[in-house]
């Protein structure tokens, strides 16, 4: 959303122009024939946005999920959800300095960011990776070649948070070579969830450093290099509430009653997360004879260790048994483009051609732990080592041409041909379960747009495009597959087509901006991950009851609108708002389900079935299928955000101001197969006030986020928490039967509590 700058001059009553690179060239946001939201670095600072997931508060229709640790991350745009556990490529592609990155790199920290651009609709003909819903591009601030300078920014809040970040910029050779180094130290209580059965406090500690180098030579050659090293440690608990607080028909039980505003868990053991990240990006441009040769490359490396308590119901007080995950990943990307630096044939034609390469290697080792019991007593923990090795490779070539028809009309079209292949090996307890499984896929993507500018302030446009995602092999079922099991494990490739029409306009001497767009998208084999479903598992003891979040490939469609408006009311007063609506629909599509009575309708089970019930319902297939109708994801169909700021002079050197940010989420009834996840409509209000120097050199601000301390459950599991155990069986006690010990609680996520804090900022020189 275009953000109006605070006006400090009586002559400055126009909205600030936002420059974006949505089409891989710098141009005004109002010139781009598609929906683009731009969040500037100044906006991030004004609204004290320190975590990437908080960007969704200023971009309606964008849903960001960080997970407990910031590792299982996901983004949703225009109602098309992504679940990282599905193993699929994201529906929204992420870029840092125009280079493809995994989304987890964006969620770990936010500092020294120049701009965030959210592009809606299929991406892939101009950007590296195909994505059906959109892309998010983060750009770090680059070195200045002219002046020495820097800034420091400190936030302290009542939630035990301390965030210090800053940067120093130093020209090495005037107007030719510049160096910038930025860093952050962030110490907080993480998700803020403690446990009623543990004295341990949740915490999150992050530090990072980012040196950057910029080189310019005679306006012909520009090179930008950036390296970032980050380390993060998290201690956390999973939040639960008593199931009776969500579903009054459920028994209260004898356990302590927990509500959403208790922000509490129940385990006496905590989860621990340690991560190291290294990231390098390179950007280079060489201009010659009216052409431009561009290179974008990246290398990323992650080392993650995560320890998760396996006693979710806290069945065994004082006994620790954890699942241990060690994940390493490396990714390299390279993209080379040749484009017109100036339009050809007297301004008639622009072009871009290029190639893209991406290699991803994410090996991980998991130690699954299960408790063995006898007579309700813990006997020992049995460990099952699971190792996964795999690689993916993507290669593509692309081209795009833009025809300028007169001074007011523009026709643009692009194609990308991609080739994708991956291989996976899975070893459980030293035995290969999936031995070097290889998949190959190829696709041709397109994008076409037409725009016409009736006046300098009013443009209409339409565009259409396609996207592709390779179907993943979902890991987690370690038994021979039947046809039904395989359909929900080895998922089909996904294809989609999108159509968008809209207009962009400014009025009253550029004091008012109003943009609107309507879109429709068709999906074939949309990749989704369902809720846990019971199936017939096989192990050394024979058939047992297992449960797993199977994948589904479903046909679906999405319709919606996006609206964006800003108004510079007068000197020092501005208001902006945005609205997004998306309605998704699945019609008569097969999914994995619980269906003990065999009527083809998904059932809500309050307890696990017996193996006899499950075998009778599923037969030789081991898994039931049902036909479903409904949305792709049970999230609100619409939401909106409003911003405003009023500033006025305190004296000749400083201004005082007050600003607000309001977001609203309407009621959602949730999944009919989940009696716990209905959410009433609610709004959240953040307020900020302070004083700042007119030259931008310093600022002192007080803020309160969620000022009315509104507490709402955002997501809730369908089933109560349980600890899986193996019960030794008489008379030999050499065999065991799977069982689950439950507690009357449900895992949830909630709105964060009210946060009150102070922000101090000092800047000098080039900043």
Residue 30 has pLDDT above 60, yes or no: yes
Residue 5 has pLDDT above 90, yes or no: no
Q: How many CB atoms lie within 10 A of CB 34?
A: 24
Q: Which tens digits make up the pLDDT trace of 627-684?
A: 988 888 778 889 999 999 999 999 989 999 999 999 999 988 777 777 787 888 999 9
Give which of 359, 360, 339 is closest to 350, Cα–Cα: 339
Poorest-pLDDT segment among 22-36, 347-361, 422-436 = 422-436
Q: What is the rounded average pLDDT for all residues in the chain?
A: 90
The structure tokens listed for 205 are 């500690």
438 Cβ contact list (under 8 Å, min separation 6): 421, 422, 423
- What burial letters (b/e) apply to 719-734, b meaning 16+ CB within 10 Å? bbbbbbbbbbeeeeee
Return the residue matching tokens 């949740």.
Answer: 202
- What is the gyration radius of the CA atoms in the chain, in angstroms? 27
- Residue 182 sits at φ, ψ, to 5 deg, of -125, 155
Q: Which tens digits make up the pLDDT trace of 333-367?
A: 999 999 999 889 988 999 999 999 999 998 989 88
The share of the chain scoring above pLDDT 90, in percent, equals: 63
Q: What is the dihedral of CA 432, 435, 436, 440, to 10 degrees?
A: -140
Q: CA of 605: how far to CAs of 2, 155, 202, 251, 320, in Å?
A: 48, 47, 33, 16, 29
The structure tokens listed for 567 are 């108004």
Q: What's the mean pLDDT in 261-273?
A: 94
Q: Concatenate the DSSP letters of all residues of 100-149 into one string.
A: EE-THHHHS---SEEEEEEEES-B-SSSSS-BSSEEEEEEEPPPPSS--E
Q: How many CB atoms lie within 10 A of CB 468?
A: 22
Cα–chain center distance at 738: 36
Q: What's the mean pLDDT in 458-467?
A: 96
Give which of 524, 522, 514, 463 is closest to 491, Cα–Cα: 524
Residue 167 has pLDDT above 90, yes or no: yes
Q: Concatenate the DSSP letters of all residues of 442-461 into one string.
A: EEEEEEEEEEEEEETTEEEE
Residue 261 in 3-state DSSP?
helix
Secondary element (H or E) of residue 262: none
With cut-offs at 50, 70 and 90, classify the pLDDT of residue 447.
very high
Q: How many CB atoms lie within 10 A of CB 234?
A: 23
Instruction: Compute the distance between CA of residue 699 and CA of residue 722 in angstroms, rounded to an integer.
Output: 50
Q: How many CB atoms lie within 10 A of CB 376?
A: 10
The structure tokens listed for 16 are 């600030």
Give which of 544, 682, 559 is closest to 613, Cα–Cα: 544
Instruction: Compute the distance between CA of residue 411 and CA of residue 449 in angstroms, rounded to an integer.
Output: 6
- Residue 52 sits at φ, ψ, to 5 deg, of -60, -35
CB 424 within 8 A of CB 388: yes
Cα–chain center distance at 174: 39
Residue 69 has pLDDT above 60, yes or no: no
- Residue 720 sits at φ, ψ, to 5 deg, of -75, 160
With cut-offs at 50, 70 and 90, classify the pLDDT of residue 64.
confident
Instruction: Compute the distance between CA of residue 381 and CA of residue 489 in angstroms, rounded to an integer.
Output: 29
Q: What is the pLDDT of residue 254?
A: 65
428 vs 689, higher pLDDT: 689
Return the residue matching tokens 């210090």.
Answer: 164
Domains of the chain in sequence order: 19-765 (2.40.170.20)
Q: What is the pLDDT of residue 650?
A: 93
- What burial letters (b/e) apply to 196-209, b meaning 16+ CB within 10 Å? bbbeeebebebbbe
Q: Is the dihedral of CA 696, 697, 700, 703 positive or negative?
A: positive
End-to-end CA distance of the chain: 24
CB 704 within 8 A of CB 754: yes
The structure tokens listed for 402 are 């833009």
CB 337 within 8 A of CB 128: no
What pairs with residue 526 in β-bridges? 554
Helical H segments across 285-351, by residue range = none
The structure tokens listed for 54 are 């908080």
405 vs 632, higher pLDDT: 405
Residue 680 in 3-state DSSP?
coil
Residue 455 in 3-state DSSP?
strand
Q: What is the pLDDT of residue 12?
A: 58
Q: Concatenate the DSSP letters of all residues of 705-733 into one string.
A: ESTT----EEEE-SS--EEEEEEEETTT-
Backbone region of residue 765 per phi and psi (left: phi > 0; alpha: psi in -120 to 50; beta: other values)? left
Residue 11 has pLDDT above 70, yes or no: no
Q: What's the mean pLDDT in 684-699?
A: 95
Instruction: Give the 3-state secondary structure of 376-437.
Output: CEEEEEEEEEEEEEEEEEEEEEEEEEEEEECCCEEEEEEEEEEEEEEEEEEEECCEEEEEEE
Number of C-alpha atoms within 13 angstroms, CB side, residue 547?
18
Residue 688 has pLDDT above 50, yes or no: yes
With cut-offs at 50, 70 and 90, classify the pLDDT of residue 127.
confident
- What burial letters (b/e) apply to 360-373, b meaning 16+ CB within 10 Å? bebebebebbbbeb
Q: What is the pLDDT of residue 2?
A: 40
Give which of 185, 255, 175, 252 is closest to 217, Cα–Cα: 175
Q: What's the mean pLDDT in 231-249?
A: 91
What pairs with residue 682 in β-bridges? 665
The share of the chain scoring above pLDDT 70, in percent, equals: 97
The structure tokens listed for 521 are 């998208």
Give which of 752, 715, 743 is closest to 257, Cα–Cα: 743
∠ CA 156-162-166, nearest 5°, is: 95
Q: Concatenate the DSSP letters of all residues of 558-608 into one string.
A: EEEEEEEEEEEEETTEEEEEEEEEEEEEEEEEEEEE--TT-SSS----SSP
Q: What is the pLDDT of residue 116?
A: 94
Cis preceding-peptide flag for 731 (omega within 30 of 0)? yes
Q: Which tens digits make up the pLDDT trace of 184-194?
A: 999 999 889 99
Q: What's the mean pLDDT in 17-40?
A: 89
Give the total residue count for the chain. Answer: 767
Instruction: Compute the distance between CA of residue 604 and CA of residue 595 in angstroms, rounded to an integer.
Output: 9
Instruction: Compute the distance between CA of residue 315 and CA of residue 743 in angstroms, rounded to an integer.
Output: 8
Q: Is the dihedral of CA 76, 79, 83, 87 positive or negative?
A: negative
Q: What is the pLDDT of residue 129?
A: 83
Give which of 100, 72, 381, 98 is closest to 236, Cα–Cα: 72
Residue 203 has pLDDT above 90, yes or no: yes
Residue 369 has pLDDT above 90, yes or no: no
């Amino acid at each position: 959303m275009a953000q109006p700058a605070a006006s400090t001059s009586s002559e400055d009553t126009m909205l600030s122009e936002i420059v974006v690179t949505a089409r891989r060239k710098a141009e005004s946001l109002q010139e781009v024939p598609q929906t683009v939201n731009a969040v500037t670095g100044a906006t991030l600072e004004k609204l004290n946005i320190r975590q990437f997931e908080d960007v969704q508060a200023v971009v309606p229709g964008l849903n960001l999920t960080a997970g407990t640790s910031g590792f299982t991350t996901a983004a949703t745009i225009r109602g098309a959800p992504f679940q990282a556990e599905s193993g699929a490529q994201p529906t929204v592609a992420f870029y840092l300095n125009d280079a493809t990155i995994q989304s987890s790199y964006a969620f770990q920290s936010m500092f020294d960011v120049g701009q965030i651009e959210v592009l809606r609709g299929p991406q892939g003909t101009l950007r590296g990776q195909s994505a059906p819903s959109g892309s998010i591009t983060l750009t770090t601030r680059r070195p200045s070649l002219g002046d020495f300078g820097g800034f420091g920014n400190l936030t302290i809040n009542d939630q035990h948070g301390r965030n210090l970040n800053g940067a120093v910029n130093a020209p090495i050779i005037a107007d030719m070579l510049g160096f910038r180094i930025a860093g952050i130290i962030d110490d907080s209580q993480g998700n803020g969830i403690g446990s009623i059965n543990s004295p341990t406090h949740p915490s999150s500690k992050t530090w990072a450093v980012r040196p950057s180098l910029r080189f310019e030579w005679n306006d012909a050659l520009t090179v930008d290099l950036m390296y970032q090293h980050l380390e993060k440690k998290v201690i956390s608990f999973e939040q639960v509430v008593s199931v009776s607080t969500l579903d009054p028909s459920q028994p209260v039980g004898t356990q302590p009653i927990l509500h959403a505003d208790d922000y509490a868990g129940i385990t006496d053991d905590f989860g621990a997360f340690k991560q190291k990240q290294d990231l390098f990006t390179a950007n280079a441009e060489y201009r010659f004879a009216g052409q431009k040769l561009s290179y974008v490359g990246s290398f990323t490396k992650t080392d993650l260790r995560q320890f998760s308590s396996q006693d979710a119901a806290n069945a065994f007080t004082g006994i620790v048994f954890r699942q241990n995950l060690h994940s390493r990943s490396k990714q390299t990307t390279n993209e080379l483009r040749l484009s017109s630096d100036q339009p050809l044939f007297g301004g008639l034609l622009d072009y871009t051609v290029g190639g893209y390469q991406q290699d991803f290697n994410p090996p991980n080792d998991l130690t699954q732990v299960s408790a063995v019991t006898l007579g309700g007593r813990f006997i020992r923990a049995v460990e099952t080592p699971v190792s996964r090795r795999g690689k993916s490779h993507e290669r593509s070539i692309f081209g795009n041409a833009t025809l300028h028809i007169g001074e007011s009309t523009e026709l643009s079209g692009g194609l990308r041909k991609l080739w994708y292949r991956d291989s996976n090996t899975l070893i459980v307890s030293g035995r290969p379960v999936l031995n070097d499984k290889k998949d190959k896929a190829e696709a041709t993507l397109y994008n076409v747009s037409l725009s016409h500018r009736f006046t300098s302030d009013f443009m209409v446009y339409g565009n259409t495009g396609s996207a592709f995602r390779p179907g993943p092999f979902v890991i987690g079922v370690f038994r021979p597959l039947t046809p039904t099991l395989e359909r929900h494990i080895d998922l089909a490739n996904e294809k989609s087509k999108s159509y968008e029409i809209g207009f962009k306009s400014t009025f009253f001497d550029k004091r008012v901006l109003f943009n609107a767009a309507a879109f429709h998208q068709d999906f074939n084999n949309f990749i989704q991950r369902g809720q846990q479903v019971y199936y017939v598992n096989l192990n050394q003891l024979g058939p047992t009851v297992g449960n797993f979040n199977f994948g589904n490939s479903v046909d679906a469609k999405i319709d919606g609108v996006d609206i964006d408006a800003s108004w510079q009311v007068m000197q020092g007063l501005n208001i902006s708002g945005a609205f997004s609506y998306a309605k998704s629909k699945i019609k008569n599509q097969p999914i994995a389900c619980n269906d003990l009575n065999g009527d083809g309708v998904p059932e809500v089970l309050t307890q696990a079935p017996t193996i006899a019930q499950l075998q009778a319902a599923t037969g030789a297939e081991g898994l039931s299928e049902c036909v479903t109708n409904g949305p792709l994801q049970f999230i609100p169909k619409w939401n909106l955000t409003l911003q405003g700021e009023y500033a006025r002079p305190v004296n000749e050197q400083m201004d005082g101001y007050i600003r607000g940010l309001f977001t609203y989420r309407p009621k959602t009834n949730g999944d009919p197969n989940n009696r716990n996840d209905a959410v009433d409509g609610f709004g959240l209000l953040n307020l900020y006030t302070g004083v700042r120097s007119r030259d931008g050199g310093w600022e002192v601000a007080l803020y309160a986020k969620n000022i009315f301390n509104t507490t709402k459950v955002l997501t809730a599991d369908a089933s109560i928490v349980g600890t899986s155990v193996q019960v030794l069986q008489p008379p030999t006690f050499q065999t065991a039967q799977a069982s689950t010990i439950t507690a009357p609680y449900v895992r949830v996520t909630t709105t964060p509590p009210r946060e009150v804090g102070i922000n101090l900022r000092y800047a000098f020189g080039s900043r």
